[in-house]
Amino acid sequence: MLGIWMRIRELFRGTRLDGELDEEVNLHLEMIEEEFRRRGMNQAEARAAARREFGGVALAKEAYRDQRGFPRLEIFVKDARYALRGLRRSPGFTAAAVLSLALGIGANTAIFSLFHTLMLRMLPVAHPEQLISINRTGGWGVGTVSEPLYRQIAGRTDLFSGVIASNRVQKVRFRPRTGDREEYAQREYVSGNYFRVLGVQPVMGRLFSAEDNRVPGGHPLAVLSYDLWRNHFGADPAALGRTVLVDQQPLTVIGVAAPGFYGVELERRAEIWVPFMMSSGQVTSPNMWWLSMIARKRPEVSRQRAQAALSVLMRQHLTALYGPRYDAAFREKALGQRLEVREGALGLSMLREHFGKPLGVLLALVALVLLAACTNVANLLLARGAARQKETALRLSLGATRTRLVRQALTETLLIAAAGSALGIGLAAWGVRAVAGFLPEQAGNPFSNAPDLALLAFTIAISAGSALLFGLGPALRSTAVHPAAALRSGGADPGRPALRRTLVVAQVAFSVVLVALAFLFGHSLLAMRSVDLGFRNQNVIAFSLDFPRLWNGNAQQAQDRLMQTLAATPGIYSVSGAFPPPVMIGSSSDASIRVPGSERTVTRPADVDVTYVAPRYFETIGATLKGRDFDRNDTATGPKVAVVNEAFVREFLPGESHPESRWLSFDDDRPEGGERTGIVGVVHDIRQNGIQDKIVARVYVPLSQHKVSYPPDILVRTALPLPAVRAVVRRELPQLGAGLVVADVTTIRQRIDDSIFEQHLLATLGGFFGVLALVLAAVGLYGVMSYGMARRAGEIGIRMALGAKRVDVVGMVLGDAMVLFSGGLILGFPLEWAAALAVHSLLFDIAAADPVAFGGTGAVLIAVALGAAFLPARRAASIDPMRALRHE
Amino acid sequence: MSTRETKSDILQGTLDLMVLRTLATMGPQHGFGLAQRIQQISGGALDLNQGTLYPALLRLEHRGWIRSQWGVSGNNRRAKFYEITAAGRKQVEKESADWARTVQIMDRFVRLAETE
């Protein structure tokens, strides 16, 4: 303890202590001297004897100083000062090194931050590792369960210590007090045991219990998130017991949940929790699939056992539910469903399914970028070391140890790494925002810029790792100098700079992989973009009306009126509507049909996709139609009509030259078939669900002749810009009824973009990293070539004096560059092949051995290599033989 | 071979004990005085590089076994005096005992060679 205090004091009083030591040592020497003089020596003899007796004065002082204070720290500070001076003296080098590293570290931090949020971070609840999620899979896609099925699963206390249910977090109208302005809040419907099973505590009041979720519509209660309580109620305890309006439902606030808890859905933060029995619709119906489940598994139950038990349970449930009274096609699909146990610790996320794998690929890409950046910095350091060889040699011959010089060099790399990481963290914050900008609005956004310990640890680890990676080699290489030889030869490096050449080869190899991946992703994106969607007008504007839960108007009438107003607006060519709307991924609607005369439906009805559309639908979206479009005469009471697609004709009426003369019927549970529906047109196949949609048999029917449970999207074909259309809609809304809002007004093109955002992101970032790698490789190649030229100036001078032409010299330099470059290509192409295979599943309709990617990569790299080598080559060719030789 | 009496190098780690023991018995000393005493006690048989005393003194001070103070030497010169602390005295006892044991052990080995 005492020692530390002394050391700290010594740290600040270095100069004074040096003086005191001098005084002490001098006194000691004088005393020995006096002693010897007393023994009869003369002054000179005595002085020499005293020195002998004392030993090395400087050595003793040095040993003394080495012990004082915190010697390592002092040496480090001294080295850091020295390094800083050196870095300031060569700002070009410093900027290049710091910037390469900052880009590498920034890219890694940004992508890791996204990856961590989506794939690694556990829910802030008690023992998240015990949680599993239970998903329905099969014919109807991945998803939710019904309330009776949930209750059955929750009853399996032999498997689970608790099972919670919630529905997707939804943005709903919210009024903190009656009379307040209406705002929006994120609501999650939850089961009564939700908080108890997750182990979340209240900060105030109480949270739900099983008693709060018994009867449909019987529990008008709400729990607020800590953030909402603070933002809307100023953390006022009086919020407790107050009535809030959530989606026009008056609910009593009973408690506030612990801070930091935002529900179990990753990309949507819940702000208000409501017992799910308060949801509208037939909550307890076995046919309403709407609840997501998370269960806390008993520790002694294995995941396999839980999975097996749930499979049995699901089969029994489905068999009981879908008895023989359902038609065969439907039963087959319904009974094909399964329950699947998955990891639950990370929470629920739709985004993870789509975005997880691309993020993994990006993580690998940025690792390569960092490697390329490290190689670049190592190369710069080597160049610097070579330039400083004379200085190094001088210091070595003056008695500096090699360890000391290596330590000094490493201190410099540490400073570069520190500056690079600081700048990189800034870049990362920007990068996270840029990547999140690619996410479509409906995907939610789980990414925040909140500082995170894991993230910080990651950044520090990669910074330190890269400092070692790029610093150690050059530090050892630059200090391996024969002082005498180096001083004699005037600082020229004996032998070829093999390490630098190897590094350039590595850089070229990294660039090959990164550039090839950029080409692959770009090509894939182009391929997606050029898919024929079956309709021309991608600039059609689409939006839907959002009706309040308690709306006293007629939705159908309001919609018709808005469509008429829009149709009468100058600049708007046509207006229609559809459900499901075009390129609305995830919504589908199907029905069982029979087609008289078709062999396919003789014994049992067939399942087809159905789209409900308004008049002039095909004209509005620009589809090629044989026959007629729907119009105003297709009314509810008129003859039932339908338009089918070409796939339908191929499947049900093969070889029929006049499908317009045939008819079909919706099965409606009656063996003899339902009402006669005349086919009035055949439309070219439309990829209704976007680019990756499979073409299936589809029937289009008029909205006016069928009941649809969701409001259809309104579609507008217009020359007006989007904001103008939005303005017209906003102006019209109040006339249609109070409380109406319009949900996101976008173009179909935007929806297509949103549906392939991962591809878009991969192509953009891939391109960015590819260019970055190219720049780094070009700088490396240029550096090595110029250095080589400077070193061989004399040799080139002699060659030219002996009659070599300029062309020969240029050829020689370019040839040398090509040797390095080919090395990189030979190394890079197998890596590229491996990388292409790894990302193949993310590519759309592109082979791993894509000729465009391979060819393009080769061409781009050759161009860059020639460009980087050309300048040094030209400089070499303009060497004046006489001057070069004289210099020698 | 030289017939002169050879001086011993200081065994690693023994200088600390010599300094502490000297300060414990002779009272406060300045650097020169301390060096003189150590050589006297050794009967001139030690090859002490006097300069090495100073780093050792600093080391002992850091450990809290001695303390230093500027004072005035016999011929009226400003000098730094070193003095043993209570903790230092304890350390001397402990190290002396350790040494005694080591010497005893080594002695047995040496005598083993003599009896053969």
Q: Contact, A622 vs A639, CB < 8 A?
A: no
CA-nearest of A122, A272, A125 to A186 is: A272
Rounded to whole angstroms, the Cα distance separating B102 from B96 reads 10
**Which tens digits make up the pLDDT trace of A742-771?**
877 889 998 888 888 888 999 999 999 999
Query: What mean pLDDT is predicted for residues A278-306?
Result: 91
Residue A885, CA distances (Å) to A785, A792, A804 in order: 20, 11, 15
Q: What percent of chain A has pLDDT over 70?
A: 96
Helix (H) or strand (E) holding A749: helix A748-755
pLDDT for res B4: 45
Residue A399 has pLDDT above 60, yes or no: yes
Strands (E), A326-421: 338-343
- A677 CB neighbour count, 10 Å cutoff: 20
**Which tens digits make up the pLDDT trace of A153-193?**
999 999 999 999 999 898 888 988 877 778 889 999 999 99
Residue type, A692: Q
pLDDT for res B7: 63
CA-nearest of A381, A665, A691, A663 to A524 is: A691
Residue A543, CA distances (Å) to A210, A478, A533, A747 in order: 40, 66, 20, 8
Q: Contact, A704 vs A635, CB < 8 A?
A: yes
Rounded to whole angstroms, the Cα distance separating A682 from A685 reads 9
Exposure string (b/e) for A271-292, b if CB count within 10 Å is 16 or more? bbbbbbbbbeeebeebebebbb
Minimal C-alpha gap between B33 and chain A (Å): 9
Query: What mean pLDDT is predicted for residues A634-657?
Result: 91
Burial of B1 (0-12, 13-18, 19+ CB in 10 A): exposed
pLDDT for res A297: 94
- B11 CB neighbour count, 10 Å cutoff: 9
- Provide the residue ranges of all domains of chain A, joining segments of one domain with +: 2-69, 91-121+353-494, 128-350, 497-532+749-888, 541-748
Rounded to whole angstroms, the Cα distance separating A317 from A335 reads 9
Q: Contact, A272 vs A174, CB < 8 A?
A: yes
Where residue B44 falls among pLDDT bands split at 50, 70, 90?
A: confident
Tokens coding A398: 């003056």
Determine the 3-state secondary structure of A190 from DSSP: strand
Phi and psi of A662, rounded to 5°?
Answer: -95, 175
CA-nearest of A111, A102, A97 to A427 is: A102
Rounded to whole angstroms, the Cα distance separating A158 from A702 reads 51
Q: What percent of chain A has pLDDT over 90?
A: 36
Substitution target in A5, A8, A23, A24 with the highest count of B β-carbons within 10 Å is A24
Rounded to whole angstroms, the Cα distance separating A369 from A353 reads 26
Q: Are A27 and B62 within 8 A, CB to CB?
A: no
Residue A670 has pLDDT above 70, yes or no: no
Q: Contact, A573 vs A719, CB < 8 A?
A: yes
A-chain residues near B55 (CB < 8 A):
60, 63-64, 66-67
pLDDT for res A585: 65
Tokens coding A737: 């009824």
Greater model confidence, A436 or A140: A436
**Which tens digits make up the pLDDT trace of A196-206?**
999 999 999 99
User: What crossing angle do the helices spanning A757-791 and A350-387 adopt, rounded to 10°?
Assistant: 10
Residue A371 has pLDDT above 70, yes or no: yes
Greater model confidence, A13 or A681: A681
B-chain residues near A20 (CB < 8 A):
80
Of A28, A53, A67, the CB nearest to B58: A67
Which of A390-404, A610-624, A723-737, A819-833 is predicted most confidently?
A610-624
Rounded to whole angstroms, the Cα distance separating A525 from A674 reads 45
A-chain residues near B62 (CB < 8 A):
2-3, 6-7, 67
pLDDT for res A794: 79
pLDDT for res A389: 80
Q: Are B52 and A7 within 8 A, CB to CB?
A: no
Residue type, A517: L
Rounded to whole angstroms, the Cα distance separating A854 from A824 reads 14
Tokens coding A495: 């032998």
Query: What mean pLDDT is predicted for residues A109-124?
Result: 89
Residue A888 has pLDDT above 60, yes or no: no
Greater model confidence, A667 or A388: A388
Q: Contact, B24 vs B88, CB < 8 A?
A: yes
Residue A653 makes CB contacts below 8 A (sequence gap 6+) with A595, A597, A598, A659, A662
Greater model confidence, B5 or A786: A786
Q: Are B62 and A7 within 8 A, CB to CB?
A: yes
Lowest pLDDT segment from A1-15, A365-379, A710-724, A872-886: A1-15
pLDDT for res A449: 62
B-chain residues near A68 (CB < 8 A):
58
- A184 CB neighbour count, 10 Å cutoff: 12
**Which tens digits make up the pLDDT trace of A128-139?**
999 999 999 876
Q: Contact, A514 vs A365, CB < 8 A?
A: yes
B-chain residues near A23 (CB < 8 A):
78
Rounded to whole angstroms, the Cα distance separating A110 from A432 reads 5
pLDDT for res A281: 80
Q: Contact, A796 vs A874, CB < 8 A?
A: no
Residue A623 has pLDDT above 50, yes or no: yes
pLDDT for res A489: 61
**Which tens digits make up the pLDDT trace of A532-547?**
899 999 899 999 888 8
User: What crossing angle do the helices spanning A389-397 and A402-436 adopt, rounded to 10°?
Assistant: 140
Minimal C-alpha gap between B51 and chain A (Å): 5
**Which tens digits make up the pLDDT trace of A696-739?**
899 999 998 888 777 889 999 999 999 999 999 988 888 887 77
Q: Contact, A664 vs A596, CB < 8 A?
A: yes
Rounded to whole angstroms, the Cα distance separating A416 from A464 reads 11
User: Could you tell me if B77 lies within 8 Å of chain A, comparing CB atoms?
Assistant: yes
pLDDT for res A579: 87
Pairing of strands A606-613, A698-702: parallel
Give Cα A75 to chain centroid, integer Å: 42
Residue A549 has pLDDT above 70, yes or no: yes
**Which tens digits make up the pLDDT trace of A453-500?**
888 889 889 888 888 888 888 888 888 877 777 676 654 454 456 788
pTM score? 0.76
Of A53, A61, A68, the CB nearest to B50: A53
Rounded to whole angstroms, the Cα distance separating A580 from A236 reads 44
Q: What is the mean pLDDT of chain A?
A: 87
- Class level of CATH domain B14-115: mainly alpha
pLDDT for res B2: 39
pLDDT for res B40: 87
Rounded to whole angstroms, the Cα distance separating A498 from A663 reads 80
Residue with the two structure tokens 């070692």: A468
